[in-house]
Amino acid sequence: MQIIRAFVISVDDFIGQQAFGGATWGQVLLVAFAIAMLLLVWGFLSTSSRKPEPDTRTVVAYCLSCGWRGRTSRHRLECPHCGDELEIE
């Protein structure tokens, strides 16, 4: 028990010691813990409320020849019905 008591006293000593700027290590640890918790909560909120990314690879286009209209690849503007060139909306 002597060892444990010595350990507790040394930790207590350490916590009560001045770290920097007049703050004790205990206060520094508390602030560090608070910041860590804030970052954790912030990270959780930002990932859970993230909106789905807008679809930038496809575009809505229509065909002048047959009137087909729909979503197609931005890089392949070709009508799936008649093969004519599509017009982007």
* Minimum distance from residue 67 beta carbon to Zn ion (Å): 7
* Tokens (6 digits) for 25: 């290590």
* Tokens (6 digits) for 17: 């010691």
**Binding positions for Zn ion, rule: CB under 5 A:** 63, 65-66, 68, 79, 81-82, 84
The residue (of 25 and 68) whose beta carbon lies closer to Zn ion is 68
* Minimum distance from residue 57 beta carbon to Zn ion (Å): 21
The residue (of 34 and 66) whose beta carbon lies closer to Zn ion is 66
| Contact (Cβ atoms closer than 8 angstroms) between residue 88 and residue 76 | no
The residue (of 15 and 78) whose beta carbon lies closer to Zn ion is 78
The four Cα atoms 39, 40, 44, 50 give a dihedral, to 10 degrees, of: 20
Write the DSSP assignment of 32-46 as a string of letters: HHHHHHHHHHHHHHH
* Minimum distance from residue 38 beta carbon to Zn ion (Å): 56
The residue (of 36 and 66) whose beta carbon lies closer to Zn ion is 66
